[in-house]
A and B are shown apart, each in its own frame.
Chain A
Amino acid sequence: MPEANSQSDEDLVAICLTQDKEVFGTLVERYEDKLSRYIRRISRLKTEDIEDLLQVVFLKVWQNLQSFNPHLKFSSWIYRIAHNETLTYIRNGKTGAHGHVLDIDEEMLENIASEIDVFKETSKEHDAEILQKVLAKLPQDQYDVIVLKFFEDKSYDEISDILTIPPGTVATRINRAKSKVKEIMSNNGYKYE
């Protein structure tokens, strides 16, 4: 579908609803990897579970496509569905998932380090390891906003739309998470600043 590939998500949704259902395949291709990574970050699901869950997510997106509000970004809307479905999946006990898997690359580490003002004196490899441990200890609501902000690179408004909370609450949670990271690091004897 060469034409479909150059269209925006929102345009593809419109085409999907009015002209050609097959275009939905392009949306699936666009978001398969992103959502797979996101689900892995907010849960500790096995690859097979993630594949199953992705099918559920995309079918749910299809089922609710008529409710998509064009005032929202499609990416925020699909992330919201993925987030909610992941929580439901875990809550229903379809997996023994616990904890999180964070693949922290150098760019992410620098991004987080500059925001939270930590890890200035230690090696990057060591820092990534510490950061993984520290972030895993955050309360779930703070962990979610950190993942979306620093790992998924979402804006405050997008996070607000994904988690269905006011943008002000997003800012508050991010600030609390930053303080909590420093507190955890300090309590565990990790060096910072």
Chain B
Amino acid sequence: MNNLNNKKPLSQKILEEIRKGAPQIPRSHFFIKNTGFWALTVSSILVGGIVISALLFRMIVMTQFEPKVPPSGPVEVLYLVPILWIILLSALIYFAYKATRKTELGYRYKLSTIIVTILFLTVVCGLVFYRIGTGIILDQLVGDHFLLQNDIDAIRLMR
């Protein structure tokens, strides 16, 4: 009997499972998942844009009020090249890349295409945010809440 069952066509076995109520994941689940990954990509680009606006503020505006002497130590180099911002920006770009790859047809695009597009959009957002003054707000916010940034500023002003 068991042997006879095994000989049943596969299509028959599958249809029996379906008739018994084999579950089907609803379309909304996939839609939410795909939209979620796109939302993560867009969020990463927007946050990256804000970070770029702060970076631009540091590099363009702040340096205008600083003495024009070369950095004398590693901390000052850190100040001139805001490495924390760059690390955060890199992390956001990586995050945006991973999220894009997870979208429905994201695998079709080359790594370089995705990275360049994300970078371009992030820079565009950064310029827009800088123009509307997001850079100074974020810079002040970070200065008020993160000791490291204040320390670097203090060292610089003492020179």
Asked if A167 and B108 make an inter-chain contact with CB atoms under 8 angstroms apart, the answer reads: yes
Q: What residues of chain B lie closer than 8 Å to A54, measured between beta carbons?
A: 10
Task: Tell me the count of chain A residues lying within 8 A, CB to CB, of chain B.
Answer: 29
Asked whether A110 is an interface residue with its Cβ less than 8 Å from the other chain, the reply is no
Q: Check: A51 CB closer than 8 A to any chain B CB.
A: yes
Interface residues of B in 86-110 (CB under 8 A from A): 104-105, 107-110
Does B137 belong to the interface (CB within 8 Å)? Answer: no
**The one of A58, A64, A164 that contacts B107, using a Cβ cutoff of 8 Å:** A164
One of A58, A66, A165 near B25 (C-beta < 8 A): A66
CA distance A69 to B104 in the complex (A): 9
Name the prevailing secondary structure of the B interface residues. Answer: helix
CB distance B18 to A65 under 8 Å? no
What is the interface residue range for chain B against chain A? 20 to 34
Residue interface mask B125-144, A partner, CB < 8 A = 1: 00000000000000000000
Q: Please, could you name 8 A-B residue pairs with CB atoms under 8 Å apart, sorted by A?
A: A24-B18, A28-B14, A32-B10, A51-B10, A59-B22, A62-B14, A65-B24, A66-B24
Interface residues of A (CB under 8 A from B): 21-22, 24-26, 28-29, 32, 51, 54-55, 58-59, 62-67, 69, 71, 160-161, 164-169
